[in-house]
Amino acid sequence: MEPCEEAHCKDLCQPQDCMWEEWGDWGACDKCGGQMKRFRSIVQIASCGGKNCKPAAAEEMTECPRKCHELSYCVWGEWGNFGECTTTCGAGIQSRTRRLQVVNEPLGVTGLSDSSLSPEDLSRKLDELEQRAQTLESQRQQQRAMAFVAGFLGLVAFIAFSRRSSWSEEHRYTAASMEAASDLE
């Protein structure tokens, strides 16, 4: 035996360091005067001996200027950009993320201060809604009363029919036994 093809093979694996994506938006405050956080994810995992990402570098915290007792709403933020493909050839995967955000007004709703309605118009609309609610409640009570009456009448009809049929069967047996007795005589 003897060696052959002693030329050094080209390395297929090149060291790649871990890479982070851009920081996400700041999250909600944990309490009044507390802290808020933001996160980032790994875009590329270290491979072939590259440098690993430090887990502590995935999160940042800062002081929170949250106003206490103010209404806030959770809404989905915008989708982020797609990350790098998981492979350089073949069937890989790209992913993207979006996060929940805290806002002061729900989506699609503007404050009353931005409203084009005057206070009188708002008051009139409130009165109309209250009147409509009373009308619907009155109709619901009428429907409930009618359903009760219909159920009661159905029960009375069922009892009357049951008695009528049991009376006619009883009467038929009595009449048949009287005829049989008169035939024996």
Over residues 134-154, the pLDDT tens digits come to: 999 999 999 999 999 999 999
DSSP character for 56? G
pLDDT of 171 reads 62
pLDDT tens per residue across span 44-98:
888 888 888 887 888 888 887 656 667 777 888 888 888 887 777 767 778 888 8
Instruction: Return the sign of the alpha-carbon dihedral for residues 96, 102, 103, 105.
Output: positive
Residue 77 to residues 74, 93, 96, 107, 173: CA-CA distances in angstroms?
9, 22, 12, 11, 83
Tell the residue number behind the tokens 């209250």, with chain if given. 130
pLDDT tens string 96-110: 888 888 777 766 654
- pLDDT at res. 146: 94
* Strand-pair partners of 73: 103
Q: Which residue type, as a one-letter code, is found at position 124?
A: R
The listed range with the strongest mean pLDDT (8-12, 13-17, 91-95) is 13-17
Q: Where are the beta strands (DSSP E) in 77-170?
A: 100-103
Residue 3 pLDDT greater than 80, yes or no: no
Across 22-181, the runs of DSSP E, i.e. the strands, are 35-39, 42-44, 59-63, 73-76, 100-103
Structure tokens that stand for 140 in this block:
């619901």
The neighbour count for residue 33, using CB atoms within 10 Å, is 12
